[in-house]
Amino acid sequence: MPLIRIDLVEGRRSAEQVTHLLDTLHAEMVAAFGVPERDRYQIVHEHPRHRLVVQDTGLGIERTDDVVVVSVTSRPRDREQKEAFYAGLAKALERECELRPEDLVVSITVNSDEDWSFGHGRAQFLTGEL
């Protein structure tokens, strides 16, 4: 279920590299949130450089054009799960995709069981299918 939007600067990655980034992101989501392997919903938006503004809230974090903004919509998760996701994702993207941990921003929005329909017009968290 988590529905994830990934915002990137265009022209920085090949199709293969974007796919590898999505695969890595998904593996970390499975590990941190314990979702099923096929619980994968990812949408990539690529933008001209000046259409994606990412500063640092005064934290002294330097960004590059490789910056990745990950926006997650999910049912409620524990604080520990969220922190594990942030940490695991930064580590995995650095290892797998050579992404600097400075270039990763994550934001989560929470909804609930009744807010999802995965197909057939049914709310599978309510019907007992999930």
DSSP-derived secondary structure letter, 122: B
**45, 64, 65, 95: residue in contact with a second copy (rule CB under 8 A):** 45
Say whether residue 66 binds a second copy (CB under 8 A): no
**17, 64, 91, 95: residue in contact with a second copy (rule CB under 8 A):** 91
Say whether residue 14 binds a second copy (CB under 8 A): no
Q: Say how many C-beta atoms besides its own lie within 10 A of residue 32's C-beta.
A: 19
Alpha carbon distance 34, 23 (integer Å): 16
Say whether residue 61 binds a second copy (CB under 8 A): yes
Say whether residue 52 binds a second copy (CB under 8 A): yes
76 is catalytic: no
Say whether residue 58 binds a second copy (CB under 8 A): yes
Say whether residue 65 binds a second copy (CB under 8 A): no
Say whether residue 30 binds a second copy (CB under 8 A): no
Alpha carbon distance 115, 126 (integer Å): 10
**19, 34, 64, 95: residue in contact with a second copy (rule CB under 8 A):** 19
Alpha carbon distance 122, 113 (integer Å): 12
Least Cα distance to 18 among 28, 6, 27, 30 occurs for 6
Q: Which helix (H) or strand (E) holds 45?
A: strand 41-47
Catalytic residue among 2, 36, 48, 76: 2
